[in-house]
Structures are given as structure tokens and as C-alpha cells.
Amino acid sequence: MTALIKLTDFSVSFSTPRGDLHAVRGVDLSINKGESVGIVGESGSGKTVLSRATMGLMPSTATCTGSVEFNGVDLSRLSRKDLRNYWGTGMAMVFQDPMTSLNPVRRIGSQITEGLIVRLGMSKEQARGRAIELLDRVRISDPFATMKKYPGELSGGMRQRIVIAIAIACTPELLFADEPTTALDVTVQAQVLELLAELRQEFNMTMLLVTHDLGVVAGQTDRVVVMYAGQIVEAATTKELFKNMKMPYTEALLKSIPRLDQQAGQRLKVITGRLPDPTKPEPGCAFAPRCLYATDKCRSEQPPLVTTQTGHQYRCFFPLGGAN
Amino acid sequence: MAGSGKIHLRPNSEPILVVQDLVVNYKVSRKTVISAVAGISFDVLRGETLAIVGESGCGKSTLGRAVLQLPRPQGGTVVLDSIEITALSGNDLRDIRPRMQMIFQDAISSLDPRLQVKNIIDEPLKAWKKGTAAQRSEKVDDLLDAVGLDPEIVRDRRPYEFSGGQCQRISIARAIALEPMLLVCDEPVSALDVSIQAQILNLLQDMKDKLGLTLIFISHDLAVVKAVSTRVLVMYLGKICEVATPDDLYAHPAHHYSRALIAAVPIPDPEASVDKIRVTGEPPSPINPPSGCRFRTRCESASDRCAAEEPQLQEIGLGHFVACHHPLIK
């Protein structure tokens, strides 16, 4: 298998009045064609910045270092204009908030056809036909009428389907889905996740699913990357990760989720405290201040990212269940 | 439900809150009226946590607010601690207000951005003339302490300096300042990260135990509801579908809608067997709700009877009620 996208020592920082804010720190990540990878972490862990920076969607206050190779081409060396050639056809993104990621004053039809006309060079008529097919594909019940509507006339679930239709319009090789269901009801969330899984199969897409919900990741991905304070702290196949967690952080994150198979009225386990200030990196392990097992070593020394024989990666001096 | 009925009420257990036939309509244009809450009855016992669950637009928030007379409902009665608050005049209602408080979904925007935290929490105390300035200031510190914030650090700051979880703690402190008996929590954790969510849920539980609060907990997340509630009311398009204890509801849902809601919750285990029962589509418009059972348009077991006749709540087990012509368990 070949890597479709490969990040090497990738970092993103923002200059702010309080000093440099290190949102992503030294990430190495390689995703193979056809894989579905989940990136999990709390708000502020750098997961959204990582996915957006990979696509090159960063404001001018951001500094990215390291390399992003897409199909062997280093995107970080490309000009803005050349990079554009990869958007839509190479990679596309489903954004988190369907309420704000659509243009409120343009009809749905023109927002879907835009990419088809600009990127694929279709005529207006062709694009319209394809857009209707796409709407039908994302299970919009009346595609013809929906083409003429404005986003404000649609529900959150329908808008998220439109955002997905726009993202897959030019059949991208890599689809980023940034918290695609966070703003939705559970029933609609289940429908949208199912739709994404189907489309991934159908178009043979590689998917990067960014979420804070380990429950969503469990059913949708082959591999999971857990981020904390801008770093990868654990990475493994989904099955391995849930069966054999190494990082105390991942365990704490999983335990804090209320579960249906738990008895009613049970007290939830919590992770006390919150993420460290990204402008002042911790000298030791970033999770140490909140970790149940932290020692003096953890507080003073950065743990390296260890890779086991099975390919399980973790960043901890005292992994759960020992070093194997 | 999508049905009606009052068989699930427990008048002999001295409920602290009794709601009967509550109706809330919204006017959307000169001629069109949405019935957001269409004749709902329920009661809450002292110390209970009643969860109200349903999808967006089912009327659960409207129901929670109507109980607090925000705004006053168009029909039905609400009796809090033996006082019929729907019959009270404006002034008398105001006197009752300290007994019932609310926590809102979006913690950050429910706090006045220009006020310092100490003034936000002092506001209800001041409005009700609870003690001298010095006494109130002491009370504010106690409240902050109780919700797990350090008064020294927090007192003089403003809401924008805090994260969502911290803002939710501040709004909890404000809500319990007047020592209410009933607290309505409208999706208090749905905007928070899972790790912070657990902290806030535990805090609510602690406050409930400490102050003897009775809670109405509104949420669309069934897993969260299971962790906090003692009784669950499932709502659909302004009507009740099912009422049960959480253990009963999750183990043996009787309504097709409840079963679909439960099946939609993602399970954090890649090897879990996934229940493939799905409701398709989204709720129909409440402007023109389906006849009979309101859920029938999305229900696979719907029959002619469901279109013709509105199901009434029936008891199918101890404390387990369902409004369905074809319940999953009988």
C-alpha cells in the first residue's frame, strides 16, 4: 500500500499578542489509500488545525513547518495557485458547522455546481444534472426543489448533507470530515455517518474523520490517532486501540463518555483540569498535570513517541499494561 | 407519542410538580399556528430527575420553559409545591420565581458579557434583597466554591475569560443562589467536550444531593440521560411517546421511536454489535402534524389505525407507559 498523504515533522504555530501559540507540534502521520483514520482529541488539542493546515487552509498569521506530501508531491512548496488544483479533486472538506459553512445568500444549486464548473470544467447544464444526482445520492428527498432553495430554508441535517454533496462533488481522493456530526441530533448523526461510510466505499475515498467522540470513531475508522496539546499521543488500529490502550489520556477520555450499557445513575469518571496553555508548553509530558499516574519524571522530561512491534504508537513513560 | 393521556401521573406520591394538558402554540404567521407542545401531562416527585428527550424541534425546550412560565403556556395547568402557578397574577408569580430556576444550553451567551462573575451571581441575591452587601459577597464566594471555582481567581473576571465548562459552572452557581426547589436544565452539556461534560454532570448530581433539588433535565443525548435521570419522558412533535425508568427504557423500549433513538447512540467499542434500526428522514413540520399518531410517517409498523386514532398512554409494566397502538412489548 502506498501513502496517499504523508506528514513529516509537521508543526503549525500562530503569532498572537501573548506569544507564539503552538497548535500542532511535530506530527508524523501517513495515511494509505482507502483508509479511514480518526483524529480524536478535546477542543484545543489541535485536531482541526491539523486537518485544515494539511489542506493549506490557514490564515496568514499561521506558520507551518515540516512537509505535507500528497501522492508524492510536497504541498508545502507549492504556490497558492498550484495548491488550488488539489482542492475539490484531490482533497475536500466537510466542515463542522453546517449552519455557517454554506453561503446564506446563494441558492443550494449554485453552491454545488460551483466546484463542478470551476474544477471539472463542466457546462452549466452538465453541472446541474450532476448536482441533482449528488443531492439524490446524499438522500435529499426532492433534489429539484432543493436546488432552488437557500440554506436557511433547510434543517441542520439537510444542510450537512448538502455540505457533504459539495465536498464529494469532484470525487476527491481524500475527504476530511471535521466534526461532521457534532451539531446534529443522534438520529441524524447516525444517518450522516452511515452516508459517509457508503460514499467512502462507493467512491473509494480515503477519509480523515476529526472528532472528540470516541464513540463515533469506534464504528467508522480503521485507525485512530489521539491528539493532545498539538501532539500525537497515541495511534493504533481502531480495534487495537480500544482493546489495548496505552495512554492514560485515551483511557480517561473513554471513561468520561456516558454509555448506554452502564447502569443508570452511576457517577461518571472525569478528567480533572483542562488542556495546558498552548503559548506556554509544559517542560514534561503535556498531560502530566491531569494524569493519575504522573511522576516527577513525567513533569520534567518529554516522553518520546514509542512504536511497538505491532505498530502501536504512544507517548508515555508508563504505558497502561506495560510496554508491549 | 405520540399520544395523550394521564395514566402515568402519580397523585398519591405527593409530586412536587404536576403538569396537566400543557399546550404551547407559536404563531408563525397571521393564520398559521405551530403547536409545539400539544397537551402534555407529567409529574415530578421530590428529589427525582426527570429527563425529557427527543430530537431537535420536538418541543422539549419549549416544554421546559413553559413549566417555568417563560412565556406562559396557552393551556393546561402547572402546579408547583401545591401552588397552581398558571393561575397566579404577574406579581404573585414573581414571588414564586426563586423556587424555580433554569440552566441554559449555551453557557457563554447566557451570561451577561459585561458583568463580572461576582455581579452575575449576586444579581438574583440582590434582586431578592438577601442580606447586606457583605453577606451577599460571602454567599457569592461560597457558591463559587461549591461549583468548583476558586473565588479569589474568578470573582473579578468576565465571562469571555472562561471556557464553556467554566461558564456552565458559573450559571449553575447563579441558578442555585436562591436555593430553588426545581431546576430546569436545558441541554446543559450538549455544547461541551466529553471530558468537560462528565465534570458538569457530576457537579449537577452533587448539587442535587446537597441541596435536595428536583431536576428536569432536557437532552437529546440518551447516554447522558441514562447517567443522570431517575425517570425518562420521550417526546416527539409535542407529544409523549413513552415514560419509564432509564434502566427499563434502555433494556426494553416499548415505543418504536424510543428504540430508534437508542439504536442511534454510537457505542465506543469497535467490536460491539450494532443495532441497525434507523429512523429515516427527519420529523415532519409541526405546522401540519400527521393525524393520529404523530410518529407514524417514520414508523415501520404504522397501520391504518395509527392514522385514524391517536394512541393513549397505557401501562405496560410497573412505572412504564407507552403511547403506541403496536408497542414492542405488551
Write down the domain spans for chain A: 3-90+170-260+267-314
B22 located within any domain: yes
Check pLDDT > 60 for residue B75: yes
Check pLDDT > 60 for residue B163: yes
Q: Is the dihedral of CA B248, B252, B258, B260 positive or negative?
A: positive
Task: Spell out which residues of chain B touch residue A238, defining contact as CB-CB under 8 Å.
Answer: 270
Residue B317 three-state SS: strand
State CA B151 to chain mean position distance. Answer: 30
* pLDDT recorded at residue B55: 86
Check pLDDT > 90 for residue B77: yes
Domain CATH number, residue B315: 3.40.50.300
What are the residues whose beta carbons fall under 8 Å from the beta carbon of A290, sequence distance 6 or more? A249, A252, A271, A272, A273, A274
* pLDDT recorded at residue B2: 46
B65 located within any domain: yes
pLDDT band at B4 (very low <50, low <70, confident <90, very high): low
Q: Any idea which residue has 426532492 for its cell?
A: A142
B144 located within any domain: no
What is the spatial order of strands in the sheet that B33-44 belongs to? B33-44, B17-27, B75-80, B83-84
User: B216-240 pLDDT, tens per residue?
Assistant: 999 988 888 998 999 999 999 999 9
Instruction: Please name the CATH architecture into which domain A3-90+170-260+267-314 falls.
Output: 3-Layer(aba) Sandwich (3.40)
User: B256-306 pLDDT, tens per residue?
Assistant: 999 988 988 888 888 877 666 777 777 888 888 899 999 999 888 899 999
Q: In this complex, is the C-beta atom of A265 within 8 Å of any C-beta atom belonging to chain B?
A: yes
* pLDDT recorded at residue B275: 65
Check pLDDT > 50 for residue B1: no
Domain total in chain B: 1
ipTM of the complex: 0.79
CA nearest to A253, candidates A228, A281, A223 = A228
* pLDDT recorded at residue A324: 62
Tell me which residues of chain B, numbers 73 to 132, contact chain A at a CB-CB cutoff of 8 Å.
Answer: none
Q: In this complex, is the C-beta atom of A66 within 8 Å of any C-beta atom belonging to chain B?
A: no
Q: What is the mean pLDDT for each group of 10 consecutive residues in chain A (324 residues)?
A: 89 89 93 94 88 90 92 89 90 86 93 93 94 91 92 87 92 92 82 90 93 88 94 95 93 87 79 80 89 92 93 94 76
Residues B325, B293 contacting (CB under 8 angstroms): yes
Q: How far is B202 from chain A (nearest CA, A)?
A: 7
Instruction: Kindly determine whether residue A187 and residue B261, on different chains, have CB atoms separated by under 8 Å.
Output: yes
Q: In this complex, is the C-beta atom of A286 within 8 Å of any C-beta atom belonging to chain B?
A: no
Pick the residue of B60, B161, B194, B252 with the most A CBs within 10 A to test the interface with A by mutation: B194
What are the residues whose beta carbons fall under 8 Å from the beta carbon of A19, sequence distance 6 or more? A279, A280
Note down the domain range covering B15: 1-81+220-330
Q: In this complex, is the C-beta atom of A251 within 8 Å of any C-beta atom belonging to chain B?
A: no
- What percentage of chain B reaches a pLDDT higher than 90? 63
B195 located within any domain: no
Task: Spell out which residues of chain A touch residue B226, defining contact as CB-CB under 8 Å.
Answer: 258-260, 262, 264
Instruction: Kindly determine whether residue A271 and residue B198, on different chains, have CB atoms separated by under 8 Å.
Output: yes
B248 located within any domain: yes
CA B121 to CA A311: how far, in whole Å?
52
* pLDDT recorded at residue A227: 95
B330 located within any domain: yes
The minimal CB distance from B266 to the residues A215, A263, A269 is found for A215
